[in-house]
A and B are shown apart, each in its own frame.
Chain A
Amino acid sequence: RMNRKKGDKGFESPRPYNTTHQVVCINNINFQRKSVVGYVELTIFPTVANLNRIKLNSKQCRIYRVRVNDLEAAFIYNDPTLEVCHHESKQRNLNYFSNAYAAAVSAVDPDAGNGELCIKVPSELWKHVDELKVLKVHINFSLDQPKGGLHFVVPNMEGSMAERGAHVFSCGYQNSTRFWFPCVDSYSELCTWKLEYTVDAAMVAVSNGDLVETVYTHDMRKKTFHYMLTIPTAASNISLAIGPFEILVDPYMHEVTHFCLPQLLPLLKHTTSYLHEVFEFYEEILTCRYPYSCFKTVFIDEAYVEVAAYASMSIFSTNLLHSAMIIDETPLTRRCLAQALAQQFFGCFISRMSWSDEWVLKGISGYIYGLWMKKTFGVNEYRHWIKQELDQIVAYELKTGGVLLHPIFGGGKEKDNPASHLHFSIKHPHTLSWEYYTMFQCKAHLVMRLIENRISMEFMLQVFNKLLSLASTASSQKFQSHMWSQMLVSTSGFLKSISNVSGKDIQPLIKQWVDQSGVVKFYGSFAFNRKRNVLELEIKQDYTSPGTQKYVGPLKVTVQELDGSFNHTLQIEENSLKHDIPCHSKSRRNKKKKIPLMNGEEVDMDLSAMDADSPLLWIRIDPDMSVLRKVEFEQSDFMWQYQLRYERDVVAQEEAILALEKFPTPASRLALTDILEQEQCFYRVRMMACFCLAKIANSMVSTWTGPPAMKSLFTRMFCCKTCPNIVKTNNFMNFQSYFLQKTMPVAMALLRDVHNLCPKEVLMFILDLIKYNDNRKNKFSDNYYRAELIDALANSVTPAVSVNNEVRTLDNLNPDVRLILEEITRFLNMEKLLPSYRHTITVSCLKAIRVLQKNGHVPSDPALFKSYAEYGHFIDVRIAALDAVVDYTK
């Protein structure tokens, strides 16, 4: 009865048939010619009696032959996206193209029952079809020089393909499997899979599901990898990687296997040594075992994206691999691993019904990834990250227009386009801009967090567990039970599950953030009414600018008074801007008393800075980030200073630092310096304080006393006691200090004297840091540190004094610039002999050279950058060089 009930409201396939099983057999891969030959066989059950045409997806494949139940079948192949505008010459504008492109994508959209390949069911089978009996569609195809979907990496050198490290892997954006074999390229068409790849005996083929066996061909020169994937999976989650991989069985989990390119095994060992902890974390919070019987990670070169998750395997960029000596890359790589694993549960195992349900999958995987972040890197890092993501989505929406999580498309007319402010259609994943999609994912996980705020984390995890256990039960059933659609998540199903589990109505929240786009923009200011002892808070909204929406509902305000910290929930309504908040404390009565903070801590404060008539120390609007908003709040400088010094929330501290940029006073300077010196303070806040201090120092240049900002602090922290001009030999065991040591010189180089030049003292200081840098006793590589010292040199550069646009030559080179150039030359040349990890130093040198050019010290000549931008340089170097080349157009 249960099943019946669910079936009623379940998934209705947009296609007149269901796929139950698919065989993919690739029996020849030619690396030289970059070609693939193979066949697929789909097992299909018609769901309508008069099915005479079967539409499938296929791009750039050459289709040789189609047979249905061993009978030759006629077929038409048409990919309208190849020629979007049909020689249209009158309307050459983006809008016309965008509409035409969206129409072309719709015309082959599997979720509209369409496809590029249309197969005519042979008339002999019509009777068979009318009885809804099974059809086997067998398609022979080949692929030559694919432009997408499969990427070949073939290094141009001597030796066999395996010796050259040649490899190939599937890649692409959203549902792109049709690029390498014919299929129903939809996330909602689930079936079981048999995958066979015949490859050179020196190569390994990694694909989805269990490797059943590996068999030599008769000539013993090739072998065939046989994979079985018994968990119903969408074609879009099928992937492949073939190459001369080194194999590492995970020492903690033998069902997990890691693959990397030759020579990188030591890096692979170190990089993946952490993965089992991520597994444990997710399995624990979801109270659910990892759904597949095995997991594979493959690290490949020229990756399309850093992380790509597919059923039971993930494909990573090889550039994520690192040794134990590398500090900076380690957290980034671990984050990628954790992201990939979160998507195994939501995205791969649980798929989606339609494109408009994508936000649920991205939201949940992003949300549980956030929980992992919190556990691994701590609450500070987590809150900092949430703030960063919030700022990003807010900035994007305010600049470009709203991001809509759950678009509903009526009638298919473009007039109904819910995102008409954008220059592209959001109806298909393939018509979106990449940036929009990135922001879409960002918003999705933030909204999940809002739902968590509303219903509690416990209920949230129960909902996820419910989705997973339903899917898990369904996945083990036979196709005939019609249960597989329970592995597909939909917006309505998800919301229903939430209401069942929590008993709470989250409809207003969904309406606000999911069904409509835009963020909220608050402007806040206040006045203290001494007579009434009331805080008069005014909160205005801007909801007319693009990308904004009106917010109505509760808003939390936290007021730190002398007697303690108090939360108030205001009701934001249409016409009321002013809110009276009664204060608890009278203005400064007990001078000696300690001030209680929100977290229960009691601290001594020097209250001399504050307004004698007011008990207010600081005010925060929406401190929990429960609204997707931007807040511009006005309070006095001393309030920001108190907030920076005494508020324990890192987000509040960061907001205070940003605000203090506008108050260049000795008190701000002191507050920032104190934070900078406080070792208990979150390192990112301290890093941010460095840059704010530099800005303040520049604004205060005429009244600044003492040595340049941060110099004495740096000397005290990192230089030798006996000879303060010499930096200690590197020891990066304390990462907080390490990050501070890297950042301070970069910020110091932004200091300017009254002539708007970088003080000579600062430049010499940085040059000395470079000169005395000694990493011989360090456990860690100093490549990032040295790169940042070069960044610091670049930051110290100011525009050249130019006389009548004279040509830049060596003779008129500024002596400071000469010193900088000496260093850059030496660094860049040393990189050729002893290259640094990810060539960070080359990257910084290229950036610095562009800065010197732009400021008129060195002739503006792009030749150098063009040579570094060529294929064959490391990707980071190429990007830096291309950035510099692009900069000529600015």
Chain B
Amino acid sequence: ISEMGRSAKSYCEHTARTQPTLSDIVVTLVEMGFNVETLPAYAKRSQRMVITAPPVTNQPVTPKALTAGQNKPHPSHIPSHFPEFPDPHTYIKTPTYREPVSDYQVLREKAASQRRDVERALTRFMAKTGETQSLFKDDVSTFPLIAARPFTVPYLTALLPSELEMQQMEETDSSEQDDQTDTENLPLHMSTDDSGPEKENTSVLQQNTSLSGSRNGEENMIDNPYLRPVKKPKIRRKK
């Protein structure tokens, strides 16, 4: 039988195909000296052996160890023939909390100590890694002061709110919003908004990207000499 296969494959490849056809088998049988004519009679003989189909047995279903909800269906972009998602228990997480502390005093105490510890650790770290000053000549480590360093532009740090304060301002600002809308409805109130400058004005106000608004053609109403464009120089007549 294996010789038949090998030979049939050779015939098939000989004719530049990959799948053997009936004619390839026939040629092989003829080549092997087999009388092909006798085959139909053989197949129709009365005592031929019939092979029955194997009995279908139900596979025993293994019980799922952990079932946690339904398997997720495939999202639309994944073809349905791909394997299903694994059981949810393999990826679902359930965060657990400690019993929340509800006592106000303890909370404040904790918040205060925590902040104090962080500040202390942070400033000590900064002091250890940088230059320090000390109030006691004989001891530089008990009360280490981060050395005073002059600024190039001292007013900026002194006047602008720190990042922490900015953040806080945004958070606490919501209550004030109502008051502000009143002024925003005023007809004159248009140049304080942070809309980008008109193109025409950019030459005058290169420094100043957030100036004044003038939006939606309202700039016609503001006639301020500092918003006017810079003029080109007059061409000087040569004497």
Residues of B within 8 A of A223 (CB): 230
Give Cα distance in the complex from A808 to B158, angstroms.
34
Residues from 273 to 290 in A contacting B, C-beta threshold 8 Å: 273
Residues of B within 8 A of A720 (CB): 104-105, 108
Cβ-based interface call for A621 (8 A): no
Residues of A within 8 A of B176 (CB): 324, 779
Give Cα distance in the complex from A734 to B211, angstroms.
33
* 9-residue interface stretch from B40-48, B58-66, B82-90, B184-192: B184-192
Residues of B within 8 A of A323 (CB): 160-161, 169
Give Cα distance in the complex from A871 to B231, angstroms.
40
- Contacts A213-B231, A318-B155, A319-B155 given; indicate if A867 touches B147 (C-beta within 8 A): yes
Contact with A along B220-239 (1 / 0, CB 8 A): 01111111101111101000
Shortest C-beta distance, A223 to chain B (Å), equals 5
Shortest C-beta distance, A877 to chain B (Å), equals 8
Cβ-based interface call for B150 (8 A): yes
Q: Determine if A871 and B205 form an interchain contact, defined as CB atoms under 8 angstroms apart.
A: no
Give Cα distance in the complex from A567 to B150, angstroms.
60
Q: Determine if A838 and B136 form an interchain contact, defined as CB atoms under 8 angstroms apart.
A: no
Shortest C-beta distance, B120 to chain A (Å), equals 6
Give Cα distance in the complex from A398 to B45, angstroms.
147
Give Cα distance in the complex from A875 to B153, angstroms.
11
Give Cα distance in the complex from A322 to B160, angstroms.
8
Cβ-based interface call for B157 (8 A): yes
Shortest C-beta distance, A290 to chain B (Å), equals 16
Q: Determine if B165 and A826 form an interchain contact, defined as CB atoms under 8 angstroms apart.
A: no
Q: Determine if A826 and B119 form an interchain contact, defined as CB atoms under 8 angstroms apart.
A: yes
Contact with B along A803-838 (1 / 0, CB 8 A): 000001110000000000110011011101111111
Q: Determine if B139 and A257 form an interchain contact, defined as CB atoms under 8 angstroms apart.
A: no
Residues from 90 to 125 in B contacting A, C-beta threshold 8 Å: 104-105, 108-109, 111-112, 116, 119-120, 122-123
Residues of A within 8 A of B137 (CB): 859, 861
Cβ-based interface call for A325 (8 A): yes
Residues of A within 8 A of B225 (CB): 210-214, 294
A251 touches which of B108, B143, B162, B188 (Cβ 8 Å): B188
Residues of A within 8 A of B120 (CB): 826
Give Cα distance in the complex from A870 to B151, angstroms.
10
- Contacts A249-B222, A777-B172, A779-B176 given; indicate if A829 touches B126 (C-beta within 8 A): yes
Q: Determine if B211 and A265 form an interchain contact, defined as CB atoms under 8 angstroms apart.
A: yes
Residues of A within 8 A of B172 (CB): 777-779
| Closest residue on chain A to residue B222 by CB atoms | A254
- Contacts A217-B233, A263-B160 given; indicate if A822 touches B154 (C-beta within 8 A): no
Q: Determine if B207 and A829 form an interchain contact, defined as CB atoms under 8 angstroms apart.
A: no
Q: Determine if B108 and A872 form an interchain contact, defined as CB atoms under 8 angstroms apart.
A: no
Cβ-based interface call for B145 (8 A): yes
Contact with A along B169-193 (1 / 0, CB 8 A): 1001101100000000010111110
Q: Determine if B146 and A301 form an interchain contact, defined as CB atoms under 8 angstroms apart.
A: no
Interface size on A, residues (CB 8 A): 95
Give Cα distance in the complex from A870 to B147, angstroms.
13
Shortest C-beta distance, A768 to chain B (Å), equals 9
Give Cα distance in the complex from A165 to B210, angstroms.
17
Cβ-based interface call for B206 (8 A): yes
| Closest residue on chain A to residue B163 by CB atoms | A834
Cβ-based interface call for A91 (8 A): no
Give Cα distance in the complex from A833 to B88, angstroms.
47
Cβ-based interface call for B56 (8 A): no
Give Cα distance in the complex from A809 to B205, angstroms.
59
Give Cα distance in the complex from A639 to B61, angstroms.
101
Give Cα distance in the complex from A859 to B186, angstroms.
61
Q: Determine if B230 and A255 form an interchain contact, defined as CB atoms under 8 angstroms apart.
A: no
Give Cα distance in the complex from A318 to B190, angstroms.
25
Give Cα distance in the complex from A810 to B137, angstroms.
10
Q: Determine if A778 and B168 form an interchain contact, defined as CB atoms under 8 angstroms apart.
A: yes
Residues of B within 8 A of A204 (CB): 207, 226
Residues of A within 8 A of B145 (CB): 825, 828-829, 864
| Closest residue on chain A to residue B225 by CB atoms | A211
Cβ-based interface call for B26 (8 A): no
Cβ-based interface call for B4 (8 A): no
Give Cα distance in the complex from A852 to B169, angstroms.
36
Shortest C-beta distance, A859 to chain B (Å), equals 6
Q: Determine if B212 and A837 form an interchain contact, defined as CB atoms under 8 angstroms apart.
A: no
Cβ-based interface call for A488 (8 A): no
Cβ-based interface call for A394 (8 A): no
- Contacts A722-B105, A835-B158, A867-B147 given; indicate if A215 touches B230 (C-beta within 8 A): yes
Interface size on B, residues (CB 8 A): 76
Q: Determine if B152 and A269 form an interchain contact, defined as CB atoms under 8 angstroms apart.
A: no
Cβ-based interface call for A244 (8 A): yes
Cβ-based interface call for A94 (8 A): no
| Closest residue on chain A to residue B135 by CB atoms | A858
Residues of B within 8 A of A273 (CB): 192
| Closest residue on chain B to residue A726 by CB atoms | B108
Cβ-based interface call for B159 (8 A): yes
Residues from 843 to 860 in A contacting B, C-beta threshold 8 Å: 849, 852, 858-859
* 9-residue interface stretch from A107-115, A154-162, A412-420, A568-576: A154-162
Residues of B within 8 A of A355 (CB): none
Give Cα distance in the complex from A624 to B145, angstroms.
52
| Closest residue on chain A to residue B164 by CB atoms | A834
Residues of B within 8 A of A858 (CB): 135-136
Q: Determine if A165 and B153 form an interchain contact, defined as CB atoms under 8 angstroms apart.
A: yes
Shortest C-beta distance, B220 to chain A (Å), equals 11
Cβ-based interface call for B76 (8 A): no
Shortest C-beta distance, B227 to chain A (Å), equals 7
Give Cα distance in the complex from A215 to B221, angstroms.
23
Residues of B within 8 A of A165 (CB): 153
Cβ-based interface call for B138 (8 A): yes
Q: Determine if B157 and A874 form an interchain contact, defined as CB atoms under 8 angstroms apart.
A: yes
Q: Determine if B148 and A202 form an interchain contact, defined as CB atoms under 8 angstroms apart.
A: no
Q: Determine if A325 and B233 form an interchain contact, defined as CB atoms under 8 angstroms apart.
A: no
- Contacts A165-B153, A213-B231, A859-B136 given; indicate if A244 touches B146 (C-beta within 8 A): no
Query: Which of A202, A781, A849 is most buried by chain B, counting CB atoms within 10 A of its CB?
Result: A781
Give Cα distance in the complex from A216 to B112, angstroms.
59
Residues of B within 8 A of A870 (CB): 148, 150
| Closest residue on chain B to residue A267 by CB atoms | B159
Residues of B within 8 A of A246 (CB): 207-208, 211
| Closest residue on chain B to residue A203 by CB atoms | B207
Residues of B within 8 A of A409 (CB): none
- Contacts A267-B159, A318-B159 given; indicate if A216 touches B233 (C-beta within 8 A): yes
Shortest C-beta distance, B182 to chain A (Å), equals 13
Give Cα distance in the complex from A246 to B212, angstroms.
10
Q: Determine if A837 and B108 form an interchain contact, defined as CB atoms under 8 angstroms apart.
A: no
Residues of A within 8 A of B116 (CB): 771, 826
Residues of A within 8 A of B104 (CB): 720, 722-723
Q: Determine if B208 and A247 form an interchain contact, defined as CB atoms under 8 angstroms apart.
A: yes
B122 touches which of A213, A254, A833 (Cβ 8 Å): A833
Residues of A within 8 A of B227 (CB): 247, 249
Shortest C-beta distance, B193 to chain A (Å), equals 9
Please provide the 5 A-B residue pairs with the shortest distance between their CB atoms, ordered closest to farther. A872-B150, A829-B123, A211-B225, A874-B158, A723-B105
Question: Can you identify 10 A-B contacts, CB atoms within 8 angstroms?
Answer: A202-B206, A214-B228, A220-B233, A248-B191, A251-B190, A779-B175, A781-B165, A826-B116, A864-B148, A875-B154
- Excluding A324-B169, A723-B104, A859-B136, 14 further A-B contacts by CB distance (< 8 Å) are A204-B207, A213-B228, A214-B225, A246-B211, A247-B208, A325-B165, A771-B116, A779-B173, A779-B176, A835-B162, A849-B135, A861-B137, A872-B150, A872-B152
The interface of chain B, by Cβ under 8 A from chain A, is 104-105, 108-109, 111-112, 116, 119-120, 122-123, 126-127, 133, 135-139, 142-148, 150-165, 168-169, 172-173, 175-176, 186, 188-192, 204-208, 210-212, 221-228, 230-234, 236
